[in-house]
Structure 1
Amino acid sequence: MALITCPTCSSEDIDGTPQPDSRLLIHCNACGHEWLRGEARRDPARPAVQTAESLQATFPSPADVRPDVRERVMLLTSEFLMERPEPDPSVEAYRVRYAELFTRDGLRTATPDQLLYFANSTTVADPGNMSGFNRAWKTAGPDKAAAMVRDSIEYLLYGPESLKLEDRMTHLVDGSKKGLGFPSFKESLLTKVLCVVEPERFLPVVRYTAAASGKKELAKVVFELDLPPVEKSAWTIGRLAVWSNDLLRSLIGNDVPDLQQAARFLQWAKGQPVLSRS
């Protein structure tokens, strides 16, 4: 230990205590300063802790798309754009109206009728079968239901800054936080809110996995990428919903800048013949 000196007082009067992970805990007898020396040895029997960052780093990226698939998608994009599909003129006015309503101040004034209409309309994004939502709304009563829907939207958009958007979404979808929001305001409607508030980021594809029209299925059929299944602890629904959206948005790029049209392109492209690999 004589070759090691204390970084605080430069004393050579130090002791070392071996640690379970193979490092040494160095103690300076002169000033009391302690520090660890060496590299930690990971116990192979104990799996590494998976953080959101480490998970996201292993999530498929545009670089994982094979060159032949990328070329096929480019050709399909050109074919799709040749038809010059016209955007729905009602979408922008609807989006602007509800984007204003979903501001912090706007939410306080959102009426039950406005929120019920948002949930049931197919403008911007089709949330699918709303029978369960409508039953829950009727059971709770419009005033109470509207208050809980406001809470859901507020938590999603403005909830604790210490939580990422994807984790706030998970809390609302899986009901892990009891008493939070409206229980029937789930993934499809939460995604629709994001499509309204961030129209340049969020595709109007409202489910992560759904028959042949979820983001997971579209990534597989159009780009031949395998996305993870939903899990409770790691690959949560919020993380997968947001990360898959960002992946598809990146893959489409600026060739189809209007995300309403981009979603239509993905649905159209999934039905086109797949290239032969022979």
Structure 2
Amino acid sequence: MRLAMCPLCSDDEDIEVVRALEGGRRMVKHRCGYTWEHKEPVDPKKKPSYSFLDLQARFPKPEDVEPGRLERAARLKAQYLATKPAFDPEVAAYWKKYQNIFSADGLRTCDPRVLKDFANSDVGAHPGNQATFNSAWNELGDAAAGEATRRTIEHLLYGPADVPLEDRLQELLSGTRPFAMTGFKEALLTRVLCVVHPERFLSILKYTTEAGGKREIARAVYGLELPAPESVNWTLGRLILWSNDLLHALVGEGFANQQHSAAFLWWAKDQPAESH
């Protein structure tokens, strides 16, 4: 049913009427769960398109969090830091090694096996089972697989300057770049960003997952409903980066590093709601 455009997802599919209001107005709900008051029917043939900047401006912001949610998150943060004030110091040394490997010069000269080792390591951030990547690597052999992986990382980090990082990430996720290494997808691409830009990227490697991705954490800890990845006017690459930056801003200072911040968010996600 197409009645309106969801203000959160920029999507006009699967919208239902919750109830009729006075003056011809209606309360409507999108499949993402967002509910709002809709005043006038919108012609579905006139589907608006939004620019990169328009979509970024529409993405939830820290100031959208209700004060009560912020206060609860602050209490949980104080509780967490009181009991777990530090993080594994071995992570920094490992990631420093790969910062050098992922430099422009390092990528051109590194042993292909260090790239495979990275994909199968859980130091600092666990990327999950990489059976697809490993099968593709074994089928291609070290030289060809190493070259494909190198070019994938190179495009992500050093691709055309006129293509935003969000969209370079999406190109690799969607496979529109023919050189993209099979299986080197969201978790591994995000892990590369965590290593190269440790001051920015939280080590939460999936946007949405039952175990708890950025979308689930934003909902559980801060009460924010982030866009569904299948929403037609967004891309997963943009959602991955914008949700990271949102959570980074919300979690704030006081942690040893971004892995420490991520560990807090995973912990906070599972804390029971406070009784009143």
Q: TM-score, normalised by structure 1?
A: 0.81
The 8 Å contact of residues 132 and 182 in structure 2, kept in 1 or not, is answered as no
Paired letter, 2:259:
Q
Q: Which residue of 2 aligns with 1:143?
A: 143
Q: 1:234-249 counterparts in 2 under 5 A?
A: 234-249=233-248
User: How far does the alpha carbon of each residue in 1:189-233 deviate from its partner, in whole angstroms, 9 at most, with x for none?
Assistant: 000000000001000000101113110111111111100011375
Q: 1:54-65 counterparts in 2 under 5 A?
A: 54-65=54-65
The 8 Å contact of residues 206 and 214 in structure 2, kept in 1 or not, is answered as yes
**Corresponding pairs, count:** 234
> Cα distance, 1:255 vs. partner?
3.1
Q: 1:1-278 counterparts in 2 under 5 A?
A: 46-177=46-177, 179-231=178-230, 233-256=232-255, 258-276=257-275
Distance 1:212 1:275 in 2: 22
Paired letter, 1:255:
G
CA RMSD of aligned residues (A): 1.6
Secondary structure of 1:149's aligned partner: helix
Distance 2:253 2:118 in 1: 28
The 8 Å contact of residues 208 and 240 in structure 1, kept in 2 or not, is answered as yes
The 8 Å contact of residues 203 and 262 in structure 2, kept in 1 or not, is answered as yes
Paired letter, 2:162:
S
The higher-RCO structure (CA 8 Å, 6+ apart) is 2
The 8 Å contact of residues 87 and 256 in structure 2, kept in 1 or not, is answered as no
Secondary structure of 1:146's aligned partner: helix
User: How far does the alpha carbon of each residue in 1:212-262 deviate from its partner, in whole angstroms, 9 at most, with x for none?
Assistant: 311011111111110001137521110000000000000001133511110
User: How far does the alpha carbon of each residue in 1:72-107 deviate from its partner, in whole angstroms, 9 at most, with x for none?
Assistant: 000000000001343212111111110011111110
Paired letter, 1:241:
I
What fraction of aligned residue pairs are identical, expressed as a percent?
Answer: 46
Find the structure with the greater CA-based Rg: 1
List gaps (5 residues or longer) in structure 2.
Answer: 1-41
Distance 1:257 1:226 in 2: 28
Q: Which runs of 4+ in 1 moved over 2 A?
A: 43-49, 231-234
Distance 2:232 2:200 in 1: 26
Distance 1:47 1:84 in 2: 49
Q: TM-score, normalised by structure 2?
A: 0.81
The 8 Å contact of residues 202 and 259 in structure 1, kept in 2 or not, is answered as yes
